[in-house]
Amino acid sequence: MRIVALAGGIGGARFLRGLREAIGPEDEITVIGNTGDDIHLFGLKVCPDLDTVMYTLGGGIHEEQGWGRTDETWSIKAEMKEYGVGPEWFGLGDRDFATHLVRSQMLTAGYTLSQVTEALCVRWQPGVRLLPMSDDRVETHVRITDEQGTRAIHFQEYWVRLHAAVDAEAIVPVGADTAKPAPGVLEALAEADVILFPPSNPVVSIGTILAVPGIREAVAAAPAPVVGLSPIIGGAPVRGMADKVLAAVGVEATAEAVALNYGSALVDGWLVDTVDEAAVAAVEAGGIACRAVPLLMTDVAATAEMARAALALAEQVRR
């Protein structure tokens, strides 16, 4: 079985860890990773979502945070602060710095982001094929209004520095309209037996991937069933502040609304948590098969059960 998953950072990575446990040794997983969160800091190219997937599946993630490296130290950040060089709000540990140094060095030498990601995965052996959504530069920006007036800021600044405390007025994936899918992305979608939308942020993770011309169309045209898992449980995001960016695109923070925003032209099946069982009928009325199952990723075993439920639903709705 060839499984393709569109994934953001923490939620996507943790789901993939369960998915990997749920499949057989002959099955293959291709991950199309969000690069809209990418940012240039200290002269380095930082790819938060790709790295979170790589570290999580490769056994190097800081489990409590869900991002960054385990057993991290912060000497470089401390020295940068002594020099007065920021931003201080974005933490890069010493071990993490090494990843970004290698990536930036390879990019400067002329390698593509796809080639760099493949090379980095040689060390981490994540057990999946990890593809960036595009080799072209795409950055998600957020329009806000604060004491400085109306302006657009990088999503990382909105999420990490401001903690989404200011209302998001618009989400703009800068560069997405002219970007091309990375090599292998469209082929993986066309050849997939199952396509999954993990419980990643539907706007700035999966939504940004789908904003790259050709990817949404490839998902919609794929002969494989497409099944998503709700990142919203009981009217609130399980982790993070997805409700803030959902509001910016006019979507309620409910399991039902997220499913219907994707639409039946894109998604064939949808899983909601058992607390949202009342949403099943409305989702199915929208033309999407829906089931209520436990969706809290409390551990790998629970997450593997979620993945099995998604694969089972895919079989039920197979076109």
Pairing type for strands 269-272 and 289-292 reads parallel
DSSP 126: -
Pairing type for strands 170-174 and 139-146 reads antiparallel
Ranges in the chain, pLDDT < 70: 319
Residue 240, pLDDT score = 77
Residue 91, pLDDT score = 84
pTM (2 d.p.): 0.95
Amino acid at residue number 210: L
Dist CA 68 CA 62 (whole Å) = 6
Mean pLDDT over each residue of the chain, to the nearest integer: 96
Residue 319, pLDDT score = 64
Residue 241, pLDDT score = 84
Residue 231, pLDDT score = 96
List helix spans (H) across the chain: 10-22, 48-58, 75-82, 94-108, 113-124, 155-156, 185-191, 206-211, 215-221, 242-248, 255-262, 280-285, 300-317
pLDDT single digits (tens) 114-130: 999 999 999 999 999 99
CB 264 within 8 A of CB 247: no
If one counts every other C-beta atom within 10 angstroms of the C-beta of residue 115, the result is 15
Residue 86, pLDDT score = 87
